[in-house]
Structure 1
Amino acid sequence: MLVPVDAASAVADVVPACATIVTACGFLVALRVLTRDVRHAGVRLRGEREEAERRLREQDARSRDRHGRDLLVDHLRRVGDLYAEYLAAEESLAAGRQALALHRLQVHLPVVPGRYCSLLKLRFDIGQSSESEREAARRFALHDRLPSPELVSPQWIYQEFSENLRELMGVDAPAPRRPARPSGGASLVGMLRRLGRPRISDSM
């Protein structure tokens, strides 16, 4: 069958237009796919960035907490050493040394936060807070007694020191080695070693 010349010419004119439309549709489909992929990639990268920032914040917080615990451990030991000096001066009737140790305790003990050293704070009425008072009351209740500064035992105080240090360092953490004291004077470590062999009466 012969196609009229006019029809053939019309078909020839339509073919390029159809090709253009098909090409344009393919381009639009490809553009949509590309846009979707870019959007998904952006969401994924944003999620990865937020996760990385979260990990960095947690790492920084852990580092600050660890540093804070280390500082608190050192400060507790300093306070414990001062209390050991106070007791050693009391035993040797050295009133001047005892007064000096007490003055130094008045400087360092208020810095100890919260419930730590609650019995020592109660004993000397230094740096007490509602939290430390509750902790002292809890410890007295273990002995069926009401809180009273006169009834605070040195052995109770050093037991609390020991528990505080173990808590801050971790139960299984070994105590860091400390340089030997040049004068061989009283220290927290020495008093903790004597917990099982008390030489001081149960109450002060």
Structure 2
Amino acid sequence: MLSRLLLVLASAVVMVSSQYSATINPDSVSLSLRQTWCFNQKHSCPLICLQLNGSTGASVNDCDPNTLAYSCICNNGITPNASEYSETMAYYICTEAGNQCVSNCAQGDSSCQSDCRVDHPCGAQHPIRVNVTTTSSAVAAASATASNTNTANPLGTNAATGGAVRMSSDLGHVYGLCLLVGAFIAGFAVLL
């Protein structure tokens, strides 16, 4: 029991020291909004833990809407970096701190407002993709092949929309192929 308590305390220290943590006065946000944040935090914690190797859920999952204090420790002893995920208390606090910073800027001071967002970004800055299936890898490989074989923009649209047009064009080819195969099968069925 003592070793588990020490593990929890050590995880909490690592979590606090390893991430930028914005702070806000809890009373600056309505209690109903803080309750929603805690609700989302408590529902996100087990889902985040499932993405970590060797974890099947959360062993500690607490949130206090009055103080905005929260704890998420997976059953494998790992404390995930909650600031890297949306719908977590760390994300909500960071976002609200940014909103309050912008509100404190002088009217029309866009450089101050920009600094509030750029200097303290919220959410995953370099997310790690987990639970990627073979299907999505095959789709990515097919997309890369299609992009490499169709480098010209056939409709003369700008680069910002060229990818969407190219994707639609590729889907048209797939749809046409499906119709052709369907017609072939229907024709073959009529012959029998």
TM-score (norm: length of structure 2)? 0.24
When Rg is computed on C-alpha atoms for both structures, the one with the higher figure is 1
Point out the structure with the larger helix share: 1
Point out the structure with the larger strand share: 2
Higher relative contact order, chain-length normalized (CA < 8 Å, sep 6+): 1
